Amino acid sequence: MTDIDTLYIDGRWAPAQGTDSIPAMDSYDETPMGRYRTASAQDVDRAVRAARQAFAGWSGTPLARRVEAVRQIAAELRSLEQALTESISRSVGMPRKLAARIQVQAPIAAWDMYADLADEVPWTSRIGHSRIDLLPVGVVACITPWNYPLHQITGKVAPALLAGCTVVLKPSELAPASAYLLAQAVERAGLPAGVFNLVHGTGEQVGEALTSHPGVDMVSFTGSTRAGRRIASVAGAGIKRLALELGGKSAALVLPGADLAAAVKATLASCMLNAGQTCSATTRLLAPHAELAQVRALLAELLPGYRMGDPAEPATRLGPLVSRAQQQKVLRTIDEAIKAGARPLGGSNDGSRSAADQGSAMRPPAQGYFVPPTVLEVTPDMAIAREEVFGPVLSLIGYEDIEQGIALANDTPYGLAATVWGATPEAALAVASRLRAGQVDVNGAPFNPAAPFGGFGCSGLGRENGRHGIEGFLEPRAIQLPSGYWPQASQD
């Protein structure tokens, strides 16, 4: 990857006017893959103005043509699969084989899924003598994270375009390459000028300028709860529409009589996926006290299978974290938890070894931003039992009875996801229905990309994915009609 000094604004590539050049780092060999010139406040203004100017034409474009454009972008992205996989794997650290399937192929397929679901949106409906029209909200600022870069961009940009909105995208400065490749796909697909715009830079500078711009009607953000609070504050001053997908501290609640081996294996896999850099990862394993000894034995057997190494190597199951700053943050969190009384699985708690060594017998490679797979047995009152770590760290917590297990699963400021494992689906569903989380998996049921995704509490506002994701970029308008008159409904 070479240095990139351009932005995509108003259908053209133009030199970025910012003064900073940010390196995009390889998380394994710790060297720059390239550098990105940041946007200036003037660049942001040009991008928003271009999106504003394009809005009337794009929102008035027939739905069938918007669907066709989204499908064409998906086709162009498929021609860039190899470049997308390499850049995401190297920057984020996910093993390449997984990155190809999860980070690239799945989000590209989602572009077509959104196109398929557009006809299911009730663009025009009737309530009594009122016609209800769903209208695009306007110019949308999409601010996306580094952990699943193309996936998170897709979950915002594709439905926004289908809704008839125009977009200004600011990807994370830690993993911007997939956004650059998407802009190339948009250009090749022939999207009208100004409908999609790309600016690069930090959240503090470019993100803030975008969020506060009076020409932006809606901000759709995925990232930390801390950053989400700031964005909500800035956007709120302008009474902008908000969608926030923030942090999580998701619980896997194992009920008595459940398939313990399956539950432990799936929970650990969820926690370790993408080196723990997943907002919906199950990072708390809640099990009956009577079964904790068996849970410990299963975890101790599974942990060594998470071999650390070069993400390009097929044998690697656990890659590095995205940056040295993230690595050091996670290691400090582990150290603080051990000092507070957390017990590493298979390790002593006497402080004679580093937190990473205590948490796992595996030693990381000499290079790369690695944190070894770590399991800590904790009590519910510890900070690590409630706070998001965003690394390969699983908290094991015991409970006395089902009522306490449910209370512990809900005892978090977050509410993004959860899993319940029971002896039968009926038993698990009865408990799942009592959990305050945006999505709950029962007995290992797979993720459904067409179902709404989002959370309660500090996990954010609004929902993404599927038809709900498109509707998140629409505003209802009610038109009251005189008695005896009803016009021909239109979906455009």
* Helical residues (DSSP H) of 18-148, grouped into ranges: 41-59, 63-78, 81-92, 96-98, 106-117
Residues with Cβ within 8 Å of residue 325, at least 6 apart in sequence:
none
In one-letter notation, the amino acid at residue 130 is S
SS3 call for 214: coil
In one-letter notation, the amino acid at residue 37 is R
How far are the Cα atoms of 68, 87, 94, 454, 480 from residue 149, in angstroms, in the given order? 24, 10, 12, 17, 43
Distance, in Å, from the CA atom of 73 to the CA atom of 111, rounded to the nearest integer, reads 8
In DSSP terms, 126 is beta-bridged to: 131
Report yes or no: 234 and 221 within 8 Å, Cβ to Cβ. Answer: no
Catalytic residue among 86, 245, 464, 471: 245
Going by the DSSP 8-state scheme, the letter that residue 39 receives in this structure is: P
Instruction: Name which of 323, 317, 238 is nearest 273 in CA terms.
Output: 317
Q: Is 173 a catalytic residue?
A: no
What length does the chain have?
Answer: 492
Residues with Cβ within 8 Å of residue 424, at least 6 apart in sequence:
none
Q: Is 245 a catalytic residue?
A: yes
Catalytic residue among 279, 387, 388, 464: 279
Q: Which long-range contacts (CB under 8 A, 24 or more apart) does 212-216 make?
A: 212/237, 212/238, 213/44, 213/45, 213/48, 213/141, 214/238, 215/45, 215/48, 215/49, 215/51, 215/52, 215/139, 216/48, 216/139, 216/140, 216/141, 216/168, 216/240
For 8, the token pair is 């995509």
SS3 call for 255: coil
Report yes or no: 459 and 438 within 8 Å, Cβ to Cβ. Answer: yes
Kindly tell me the sign of the dihedral angle through the C-alpha atoms of 225, 228, 233, 236. Answer: negative
Distance, in Å, from the CA atom of 251 to the CA atom of 400, rounded to the nearest integer, reads 16
Proportion of the chain in helix, strand, coil states, percent, rounded to 5: 40, 20, 35
> Which are the catalytic amino acids?
245, 279
